[in-house]
Amino acid sequence: MDFALGVLAELFGAQKADAVQLAAEYDPQPPRALGRLELARPMLVARVRARTSTRQEQRLRVSTAAPERLRGGGPTRAKSGDR
């Protein structure tokens, strides 16, 4: 929602984004203020990083390979008719 409101503000102005936010009654107030690394305890940060490191490495490999694949230089998936 935050991203969408930012895009709305960029495309249509802050007043339009504010109106949409008000109409949606969007007033985020997370129950725990831990959405940023600097707010979390170091032990929690270490645990989360350990749990997510494999997925993060996979995302990095995929996102690094994506531009080459889009240019047609990398491996591609078989088309549905090629199976």
Bigger pLDDT: 73 or 51?
Answer: 51
Q: What is the DSSP letter of 79?
A: P
> What span, in angstroms and rounded, lies between the C-alpha atoms of 35 and 45?
11
| Overall pTM > 0.85 | no
In whole angstroms, what is the distance from residue 12 CA to residue 16 CA?
A: 6
**CA distances for 82 relative to 46, 73, 76, 77, 78, angstroms:** 45, 19, 12, 10, 6
Percent above pLDDT 70 for the chain: 88
The pLDDT value recorded for residue 77 is 58
pLDDT digits (tens, 9 = 90+) for 28-50: 887 777 778 888 999 999 999 99
Burial class (CB in 10 A: 0-12, 13-18, 19+), 5: middle
| pLDDT of 68 over the 90 cut | no
Q: How confident is the model at residue 83 (pLDDT cuts 50, 70, 90)?
A: very low
